[in-house]
Amino acid sequence: MEDRRLHCTRHETCIIISSREYPNIHRNGDYSMNKNELLEKVSLTSGLTKKESEAAINAFLETLTDVLKAGDKISLKGFGTFEVRTREARMGRNPRTGETMEIAASKVPAFKASSALKNVVNEK
C-alpha cells in the first residue's frame, strides 16, 4: 500500500497515511467522505454491488429531498430527524457596503441527531 504525505491548507504538516484508504483525513481528526467513498463503504458493509449501493443511496436521497420539499419530516429511530425549519425575515448588514438590508424569510433543511447517535459519537 502506498503511503504519502498529504497536502493540507489548514495544517503545516499532515500525518502520513495510506492515501488509498483515507485520502481526506487530517491530523486533527477531520475527515470528509465523498459520495464515491460512501458508495464503496456501503457496498462492503451490505454485500451489495457498488451499482446497487448507488441506486439505494440515490433513492434514499431523492426520497428525503421529496419529503422535505413537501414540508414533512423523516424520523429514523436511533439516528435522528430530518425536517424543514422556517427562518423569519430579519434585518442584516451587507458586508461589502455596511448598509442594513432586510433578509427575506426562508425555509432551511435541518437534522437533529437522536440521543443514541450522540452517545455513539461521544463513545458513551
**Grid cell digits, residue 113:** 441527531
Contact 19, 6 (CB under 8 A): yes
Looking at residue 21, what is its pLDDT?
Answer: 55
pLDDT tens digits, the chain, 124 residues: what are they?
344 444 444 444 444 444 455 555 555 556 778 899 899 999 999 999 999 999 999 999 999 999 999 999 999 999 999 999 999 999 999 999 999 999 999 999 999 999 999 999 998 6
Give Cβ neighbours of residue 72 (< 8 Å, ≥ 6 apart).
none
pTM over 0.75: no
For residue 32, the model assigns a pLDDT of 79
CA-CA-CA-CA torsion sign (22, 24, 29, 34)? negative
pLDDT of amino acid 109: 96
